[in-house]
């Protein structure tokens, strides 16, 4: 009796780890950094590097495995992907390959009695919440890197600070929106990010995003920056629709303003201030990198 988990342990894991170790070394990781990233010992990394660990050629040649190694290697190298997300992505691929696919084939070859059965029931959902949560965090990190690498972004941060937020696909509260805890501030001309993206830490920018979504806008991310007439003129000149709302309105001004409109993929809402209210511009779009990219037209 041979379990499919044995195929995973004997064929998939050593092959995947060997490929990923090689990928990370090619990206400049030291042996100790590779060991930390993979959660294995340095001696194990050395064995992978010297070909002392048996790998499976069919697993190594599968384009999905090759793609996963590249995505995980890039994500770990840039910091866009956490070890948790890397594990989830690998687990998802494993379950896909178990379901009447490569690992299922290897299992049946190792246990021919299985050929008369219909395969294996998937126990991991590729569209599960954990994977989606980690993908949203990763997207916010990519957007943040774009902003902090853009010269002059600090000058667009309002006094109250900026925040870059992105929601889960089915978001209906601020707990479903990832943002930067404590906001992004201009510290001596540098955009300072105080922490990793978390869910439920933005009330204001997340609230604007949720209001836009409630009005029917097909958006998942938002960024707030300073308001002045020149900013709006530059955004309009770049082709972005800019819509003003009244922050003193008694109800939800963004939702009421956007309801029923045929809105583009990326657009801007802004308010020019009110009693005790700092004027702010909000960029809304499909994901965090998309709204971060809009900033480049202002600099």
List the CATH number of the domain containing 232: 3.40.225.10
Query: Whole-prediction pTM value?
Result: 0.79
108 vs 123 pLDDT, higher one: 108
Averaged pLDDT for residues 64-79: 95
For residue 166, what are the domain limits? 130-297
pLDDT digits (tens, 9 = 90+) for 125-161: 556 677 889 899 999 999 999 999 999 999 999 999 9
Query: CA 274, CA 254: separation in Å to the nearest integer?
Result: 15
Please identify which residue in the block is written with the tokens 């069919």: 58
Tell me which of 62, 87, 116 is where a domain ends: 116
pLDDT digits (tens, 9 = 90+) for 251-287: 899 999 999 999 999 999 999 987 788 999 999 999 9
9 and 111 assigned to the same domain: yes
Number of domains in the chain: 2
pLDDT digits (tens, 9 = 90+) for 13-60: 999 999 999 999 999 999 999 999 988 899 998 998 888 999 999 999
pLDDT of residue 124: 43
Are the beta carbons of 221 and 164 closer than 8 angstroms?
yes
pLDDT of residue 194: 93
122 assigned to some structural domain: no
260 and 209 assigned to the same domain: yes
Are the beta carbons of 281 and 289 closer than 8 angstroms?
no
Query: CA 26, CA 36: separation in Å to the nearest integer?
Result: 16
Q: Based on the number of CB atoms within 10 Å of its own CB, is 161 exposed (0-12), middle (13-18) or buried (19 or more)?
A: middle
Alpha-helix residue ranges (DSSP H) falling in the chain: 4-7, 13-26, 31-38, 42-49, 57-61, 63-78, 83-98, 102-110, 129-148, 204-214, 229-237, 253-258, 288-294
pLDDT of residue 174: 96
């Amino acid at each position: 009796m041979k379990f499919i988990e044995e195929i995973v342990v004997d064929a998939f894991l050593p092959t995947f780890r060997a490929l990923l170790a090689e990928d990370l070394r090619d990206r400049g990781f030291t042996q100790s950094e590779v060991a930390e990233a993979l959660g294995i010992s340095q001696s194990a990394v050395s064995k992978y590097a010297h070909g002392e660990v048996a790998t499976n050629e069919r697993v190594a040649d599968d384009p999905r495995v090759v793609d996963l190694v590249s995505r995980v290697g890039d994500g770990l190298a840039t910091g866009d992907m956490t070890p948790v997300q890397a594990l989830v992505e690998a687990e998802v691929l494993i379950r896909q390959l178990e379901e009447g696919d490569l690992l299922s084939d290897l299992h049946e070859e190792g246990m021919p009695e299985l050929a008369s059965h219909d395969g294996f029931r998937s126990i991991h959902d590729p569209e599960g919440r954990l994977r989606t949560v980690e993908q949203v965090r990763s997207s916010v990190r990519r957007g943040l890197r774009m902003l902090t690498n853009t010269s002059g972004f600090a000058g667009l941060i309002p006094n109250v600070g900026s925040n870059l937020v992105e929601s889960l696909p089915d978001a209906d509260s601020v707990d479903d929106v990832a943002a930067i805890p404590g906001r992004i501030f201009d510290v001596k001309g540098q955009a300072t990010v105080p922490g990793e993206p978390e869910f439920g830490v933005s009330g204001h920018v997340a609230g604007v995003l949720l209001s836009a979504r409630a009005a029917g806008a097909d958006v998942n991310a938002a960024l707030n920056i300073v308001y002045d007439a020149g900013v709006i003129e530059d955004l309009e000149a770049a082709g972005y629709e800019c819509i003003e709302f009244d922050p003193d309105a008694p109800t939800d001004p963004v939702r009421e303003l956007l309801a029923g409109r045929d809105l583009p993929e990326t657009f801007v809402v802004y308010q020019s201030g009110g009693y005790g209210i700092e004027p702010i511009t909000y960029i809304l779009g499909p994901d965090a990198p998309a709204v971060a990219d809009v900033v480049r037209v202002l600099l």
